[in-house]
Amino acid sequence: MTQNLTILFDLDGTIINTAPDLMAAHNHVMRKFGYEEKKMSDIKALAGKGAWVMMQRSFKEKINDENLKKNMTKEFIEYYSKNIDTHSKPVNGLIDFLKWAKSKKINMAVCTNKQENLSKDLLVKLDLIKYFDFVAGCDTFDYNKPDARHLTNVVEILEGNLEKTVMVGDSEVDEMAAINAKLPFILVKDGYTGKIPSEIKHDHLIKDYINFDKIIKNYL
């Protein structure tokens, strides 16, 4: 029997444009605790490694107060969870691609460094959860991207084959996860990273999911 293809997707900046809602939550916390707010371009470069890391990168000086870190992160998650889908939208062409992939019996999963419950909540609210066979967040396992196991464990759960798996992401974190797992990597242009595409090793570069099926057919 021919093994079905598995596609692993990052979430923020890869399949959903979440930057507006991340920025709103980030700046809410900054205002409340007396720190400088950030603009959209800053948020895109800061996102991808979790709430506290994103906020920590915003400060000119490193904050070591563990209680302050805890309170700011809690405030971020509480605000963000209540406003998670206010402005977030699927990347152009995504839904048509997901429908096509499902018709081809392609396994699909989300591997993100966002918390699992927040990831699932967002996917539910945008009516995307039905397309994915598994969602792995930063707290699903004892490890996350760029650790290869964040990807390989999901493939194992789906009873897939690593030789029939591709990773789609928008940052160097996704790149390194794919490299560590020895998977082909498809880079989404203009994602949530401070790097330009030429600085991130990739097998294919896309700006959205229009005609993405033509690339995926190469792996079927």
pLDDT tens, position by position, 24-82: 999 999 899 988 888 888 778 777 666 667 776 766 566 778 888 889 888 999 999 99
Q: Are 182 and 163 in contact (CB under 8 A)?
A: no
Quote the CA–CA distance of 108 and 101 in Å, as a whole number: 8
Whose CA is closest to 74, among 29, 35, 113? 29
Is this model's pTM higher than 0.75 or not? Answer: yes
For residues 61 and 114, give the distance between their C-alpha atoms in angstroms, rounded to a whole number. Answer: 24
Whether residue 10 lies in the annotated active site: yes
What single-letter DSSP state applies at residue 4?
P
Read off the pLDDT of residues 104-114 as tens digits, 9 standing for 90 and up.
999 999 999 99
The mean pLDDT of the chain is 92
Q: Quick check: 211 pLDDT over 90? A: yes
Cis-peptide, bond into residue 184, ω within 30° of zero: no
Q: What is the pLDDT of residues 156-182, one digit of tens each?
A: 999 999 999 999 999 999 999 999 999
Residue type, 31: R
- Give the pLDDT of residue 1: 42
What pLDDT score does 66 carry?
Answer: 83
Q: Please pick, among 10, 21, 170, 174, the residue that the annotation labels catalytic.
A: 10
The span from the CA of 69 to the CA of 37, in Å, is 17
What confidence score (pLDDT) does residue 68 get?
Answer: 87
Q: What is the pLDDT of residues 72-105, one digit of tens each?
A: 888 999 999 999 999 999 999 999 999 999 999 9
Quote the CA–CA distance of 75 and 81 in Å, as a whole number.
10
Supply the Cα-derived Rg of the chain in whole angstroms.
17
